[in-house]
Structure 1
Amino acid sequence: MNPRQLKNKTQRRGRRKAGIRKRVIGTPECPRLSVFRSAKHIYAQVIDDLAGKTLVAASTVTAGTETGGNIAAAEAVGKALAEKAKAAGVGAVQFDRNGYRYHGRVKALADSAREAGLQF
């Protein structure tokens, strides 16, 4: 992929992200679960946008998984995040896929968090 294609790809994701963020706002009652994925790791955090605070965070860096760029690691992060969120008193969240397709690692993280008891 040449640099021009990469720039366009990043810009398209930015536009998708802006459209999602117009609709999804984290409140104290129902915070936002935001997902970021890189080639090596996946990160997720539960955010109260009104207070500007991250309530709970989990990632493949902190979860202690061997590799972070696969579906199994994303499932581990989703489960860890849901357990931390429940311990912090968060039961329901709004899912912010951050401009990524709901597919692969993003979907695995979301499904794992749902199975562990998080509502969204």
Structure 2
Amino acid sequence: MALSKRERRVRIRHRIRKKISGTADVPRMSVFRSNKHIYVQLIDDLNGVTLASASSKDKGLISGPMNKKEMAAIVGKSIAEKAKTKNIESVLFDRGGYLYHGRVKMLADAARNEGLKF
């Protein structure tokens, strides 16, 4: 029986999580994508702590109507700025089982352009 999209993504996510683990110096940059919004967190897996987060639902971040790719780019820029304030220069990118395409790629490219290394 074929897997649903959700089951497939969950399996991929677990496979990725077995391989990467974030630390305080090099946290894991975890991406979650819903139909309307995009969320990203910098996570220290050793201590189980979220170091920084950003989303398209943050107040003052998104102004006016825009498409979802533009929102993802703004969120990527925001998380890179928050990482810089906490002296985080490099991260491990966890795409959360999503394809590296579209909104996930826009977020990653915007974070890289702001100086975050991964």
TM-score (normalizing by structure 1) = 0.90
Quick one: structure 1 residues 65 and 33, their matched pair in 2 at CA, closer, same or farther if it must change by over 3 Å? farther
Which residue pairs with 2:111 in the alignment? 113
Q: How many residues align?
A: 115
Structure 1 segments of 4+ aligned residues over 6 angstroms from their partners: none
CA distance in 1, matches of 2:116, 2:20: 17
Asked whether the 8 Å contact 1:60–1:68 carries over to 2, the reply is no
Cα offsets for 1:82-116 (capped at 9, x unmatched): 00000011110000000000000000000000000
* 1:8-50 deviation line (CA, Å, top 9, x unaligned): 2111111000011011100112100000000000000100000
Separation of aligned partners in 2, 1:16 and 1:65:
34
Residues 69 and 99 of structure 1, relative CA distance in 2, 3 Å threshold: farther
Q: How does 1:68-79 map to 2 (within 5 A)?
A: 70-79=68-77
Identity of aligned residues (%): 51
| Aligned positions of 1:3-82 closer than 5 A | 8-62=4-58, 63-66=61-64, 70-82=68-80
CA distance in 2, matches of 1:64, 1:115: 19
Deviation at 1:64?
A: 2.8
Instruction: Measure, in 2, the Cα distance between the counterparts of 1:16 and 1:69.
Output: 27
Which among 81, 94, 99 is matched to residue 101 of structure 1? 99
Give distance in 1, aligned partners of 2:66 and 2:103. 10
